[in-house]
Amino acid sequence: MPEVHVYMAEGRTDEQKRNMMLAVTRALVDNLDCPPDVVTVQIIESRWTDKMKNGRTFAERYAEKTPPGYQARQADQ
């Protein structure tokens, strides 16, 4: 019964998140030889102001440009 937690900054679309979770599920099924109904994948999202890399929040890092694939909230830009 594998369980995977994915930590990431918020902003991806529901479709992107669903596709990522399906890909993780397939990878576990293929590599662990387990049925998909025992695989759990959970996304844990953080606001851009609550996630930091190299001493700068994601909101600070991307104040000028939103990374491809993200839909940052206006308040966080």
Cα–Cα distance, 4 to 2 (Å, whole number) = 7
Which of 2, 35, 36, 67 is flagged as catalytic?
2
2 is catalytic: yes
Q: Is-contact 77 63, C-beta < 8 A?
A: yes
Q: Which residues are catalytic, by number?
A: 2
